Structure 1
Amino acid sequence: MKSAVRTLLTAAALTVAVPLAAQPDGQLLSLDEAITAALTDNPAMKAAAYEEKAAVQERRAAIGLRMPRIGVTGAYAYLGKDIGFDLNDMKEPVNGLAGQILGSGMVPPQYIPTIQGLISPLLAADWSLTIQDRSLGFVGGEVTLPIWMGGKINAANRAAKINLRTAEAQGEQTRNALISELVERYFGLSLARQVVEVRRQVVDGVRRHLEDAVALEKNGMISRSERLYVEFKMTEAERELANAELEAGTVASALSNTLGREGEWLPVTAMFMVDEIGELADYQALAQERNPLLNQVSLKRQLAEEGVRAQRADFLPQVAAMGGGMFYNYQVSGLVPRWAVGVGIHIKLFDGLNREYKYSAARQTVRRVGELQNKAGQDIAVLIEKLYNQLLNYRNQMASIDSSLAFAEEYLRMKNAAFLEGMSSSSDLIDAELNLAGVRAERLQAAYKFDLALARLLEAAGISEEFADYARRADARPIYFDKK
């Protein structure tokens, strides 16, 4: 009987103290270090950075729309025949006309032989003229400078600026979501490791008590039902320990994934609760100003408005200056000019009402995005109110759990004293021990849920980077399994 009492006292001491000194090997990791690592190495942050860089390049490309277009063109062609005029068919009529004139008496006879001598070589000559040889080639350049495109270039540049700001807002949204994810997994691992240690110590205590219970049953000092009850609790404790170890392994892998680094991590920053949360209206006001999702919706509306301007530009004339010249030519006719400059204007008169319908569709898009913006603002306000109320609930729940913890500790003390006096069974003492462990685990769960709700509240308000500051505040109370 004394051995059983000693075993129970040892188990009770282990359950109350919950020493966590025997930690597995691993790398110590503070919350600040974890945030820095995640924001540096997580693939989602790297992808967001690439997205911003792409938007910067698109912005530069839009600026280039204002610049002249300069190009070099080269060509070679072999035509089916030379380009020119063949007047050989005119020889006979010309010869006949000359004979008529010479025979009409209008020309003095003494001059006729001289004139015929002049006409004969002309009539014998080839009366064909080649303007362009069938084989030709050239190398030249052209320049086009937009002067007025109806406002399309300005709209494209403003849209590129908006897309860049949208990429930055998306990066901020990724950053805030990543911090919330990190808080969930960092403190989740801290919680899981403590639960594993507690479950392991409970198993060890119940195992020693089972050994004594078997011995006491053989000596007829306890009934078979009490020994079976201890075996049942032993099986239950082992099952809960196995589940806790699996959960800890899963959360550890999830944390490594969030950090973007492989390793065995030991969280050293304790879960915490703060007494002063602030006013609900302050968080809602911050969200309207800094929430990345709301910023993106606002930017989408601005982008839709630029789409309206771009479609309206199709109704206006487009003017461009142009020029070009040949640097080198091969057998190109001298009749072809070697350079040219000018100004062109294009006015679209009718295109099957395509412009009208696209312009109307762009205006409808602005209205649609405006309604989505209003709804998003309302949804964020409701989300913040929900998370804020959850914080208050977890804080109030912690006060209730502290009362339950005081009762559970006193109840265990009373059951232990009654057991020593022989007025309580061992099963009652084990139940009191497990009840105390359960209350303390519930206390940790409340702190974990509080921190997670706080991280999500700050994410919704657009100030996730301030989460670590909350942990360092003067009114922040670290929450441990074995401390109030």
Structure 2
Amino acid sequence: MKTIINFKLMKLSRIKSKLLLFFVLSATFANAQELTLKQAHDLMLSENGEVKASNFEVKAMEEEHKATKGLRLPTVGVSGTYLHLDEDIAVDLNTQRNMVGGLLSIPDPAAVLGDWNLTLQEKNLGFATADISMPIFAGGKINAANKASEIKLELTETKHQIKQDELTINLINYFFKLKLAKEAVQLRQEVYDVILLHNNQANKFFENGLIPEVETLNAKVALSNANRELLAAKKDVALATTAVQNLIGINAIEGFSSKFNEPTFVKPLKEFQDDMLTENQQLKTIEKNHELAEVGVKVENSDYFPKVGVMGKYVLWKDNLPLVDTKWFVGVGVEWELFNGFQREHKIKASKYKIQQVEEFDKQARLNLTTYTEKLYNTMQKELEQYESLNADEIFAKKLKFMRTRAFEEGTGTSLEVVDATLKLSEIQLHKIKALYEYNVAYGELMVLTGKTASFLNQN
């Protein structure tokens, strides 16, 4: 009997364990579907088509940079030629032979000296060679080409980062817009429920003869408006969800677990501006373009110097080439252009103007970014002030709604007053949510532009 009981207990224990494991796995799976802003960002970087395209651009530039390094290495190749001429290449010296015969008093030069019609090259010939060439000195042009290639690779990487930053800013905007829409739905639902309850109470009071019919009409109109706004808010959620999904590059999202950051001043404006001027990717792009323009001047200056290279050939095979008896040869070549119509001078001046152009872009960009930083910071400050003011207004609005509802229930207030108090409270709460949205979007963009993306994402 004890054995049977123990077996049942063990079986029951195993069933409980399996159920517990099932619930744990279910909870884990459910939580896995709740994306944080950071998880959404990681997904976007791996799934978004624009990010992938930009990443391929970086890879292509990496290969081009490797190809540029090959300018320092020798070039090795083989070549071959086979020719068929219309006739043999020959030299007829029989006239000279006859003159020689006359000088030597030979009566029949042709018989004694033979035929002097010589074949130098038969009409069918061929050869194959192995070739090697290598630049020794190019006036600094090869070094400049490699430096320019390195800068272009860095520019492409910076451009890729800028694309990621742009999409991150969009993601922050869409993500919090979706959160704003969901909060609005929840608030609209609460307003609808409150007005529905009030409508039912008004109908009962009217049926009992406690209030006139006009009071129920106010409640019905308010209920219809609340229902319409609730439906519109739900459509906003659907649209915002689609926008986030498309930006991330996935087909479905179950939900989000991030929250709004409470408005606060994390550090002074001056620190944000300093970060902007040292970490912003746009300024780094301008800096790299300045370096590239300086390399361009070096490239143009290199035309003043001679180009020196070595080359060599080895004859692998030949056919009917009696005049070519060598097997290999090596040599050094020099090319020095002494005058080219002042082209070099003008090209150098043009390159220097490009440097000045980039410097002016840099000055203006710094002014623009400093101003834009102040704009975002002021937006944060404004929304903080709005949020704090709305917190105080919400307390009064809640108290007013409570008092209006009690007055209506006691027969000393009207339905219109209850509806007005309810809508006033919901309006304040909506403004609070909107202030949170505007603050977080401005704060997020400011953090991304100053190179603090990871720090912001970890806060959410």
TM superposition score category, shorter chain reference: 0.7 to 0.9
Query: Which residue is equivalent to 1:365?
Result: 354
Query: Which residue is equivalent to 2:26?
Result: none
Is the aligned partner of 1:71 residue 2:77?
A: yes
CA separation in 1, counterparts of 2:254 and 2:342?
A: 65
Q: What 5-or-longer segments of structure 2 have no aligned partner?
A: 1-29
Query: Which residue is equivalent to 2:449?
Result: 460
Query: Which residue is equivalent to 2:44?
Result: 38
Contact 2:263 2:436 in 1 (8 A): no
Is the aligned partner of 1:163 residue 2:169?
A: no
Is the aligned partner of 1:430 residue 2:419?
A: yes
The one-letter code sitting in structure 1 at the alignment partner of 2:256 is P
CA separation in 1, counterparts of 2:417 and 2:31?
A: 37
Shift of 1:381: 1.2
Contact 2:218 2:415 in 1 (8 A): no
TM-score, with length taken from structure 1: 0.82
Two-structure CA RMSD over aligned residues (Å): 2.5
Shift of 1:240: 1.8
Of residues 55, 70, 89 in structure 1, which corresponds to 2:61?
A: 55
Contact 1:82 1:133 in 2 (8 A): yes
Contact 1:419 1:426 in 2 (8 A): yes
For the residue of structure 2 that corresponds to 1:145, the secondary structure is strand
Query: Which residue is equivalent to 1:96?
Result: 102
Change (3 A) 1:416 1:85: same
The one-letter code sitting in structure 2 at the alignment partner of 1:394 is E
Shift of 1:210: 4.5
Pairs within 5 Å for 1:412-423? 412-423=401-412
Contact 2:283 2:365 in 1 (8 A): yes
Is the aligned partner of 1:408 residue 2:414?
A: no
Change (3 A) 1:241 1:316: same
CA deviation digits over 1:233-255, x for unaligned, max 9?
33322332232122111110111
Query: Which residue is equivalent to 1:5?
Result: none
The one-letter code sitting in structure 2 at the alignment partner of 1:37 is L
Query: Which residue is equivalent to 1:174?
Result: 163
Of residues 358, 363, 382 in structure 2, which corresponds to 1:393?
A: 382
Shift of 1:189: 1.5
Contact 1:26 1:265 in 2 (8 A): no
Query: Which residue is equivalent to 2:175?
Result: 186
Q: Structure 1 vs Structure 2: percent identity of aligned residues?
A: 31
Pairs within 5 Å for 1:203-242? 203-207=192-196, 209-210=198-199, 213=202, 222-223=211-212, 225-242=214-231
Contact 2:210 2:411 in 1 (8 A): no
For the residue of structure 2 that corresponds to 1:273, the secondary structure is coil
Shift of 1:64: 0.8
Shift of 1:350: 3.2
Shift of 1:55: 2.3
Contact 1:159 1:303 in 2 (8 A): yes
Shift of 1:214: 6.0
Query: Which residue is equivalent to 1:277?
Result: 266
Rg bigger for which structure?
1
Of residues 112, 128, 150 in structure 2, which corresponds to 1:122?
A: 112
CA deviation digits over 1:337-387, x for unaligned, max 9?
432211111112333433333222111111101100111111111111111
Shift of 1:300: 0.6
Q: Mean Cα displacement is larger for which, 317-326 or 269-278?
A: 269-278
Of residues 293, 317, 331 in structure 2, which corresponds to 1:342?
A: 331
Task: Count matched residues.
Answer: 431
Shift of 1:91: 4.1
Is the aligned partner of 1:447 residue 2:436?
A: yes
TM-score, with length taken from structure 2: 0.86
Q: What 5-or-longer segments of structure 1 have no aligned partner?
A: 1-23, 100-114, 472-484
For the residue of structure 1 that corresponds to 2:255, the secondary structure is strand
Contact 2:263 2:380 in 1 (8 A): no
Change (3 A) 1:68 1:56: same
CA separation in 2, counterparts of 1:426 and 1:120?
A: 141
Shift of 1:223: 4.7
CA separation in 2, counterparts of 1:396 and 1:164?
A: 45
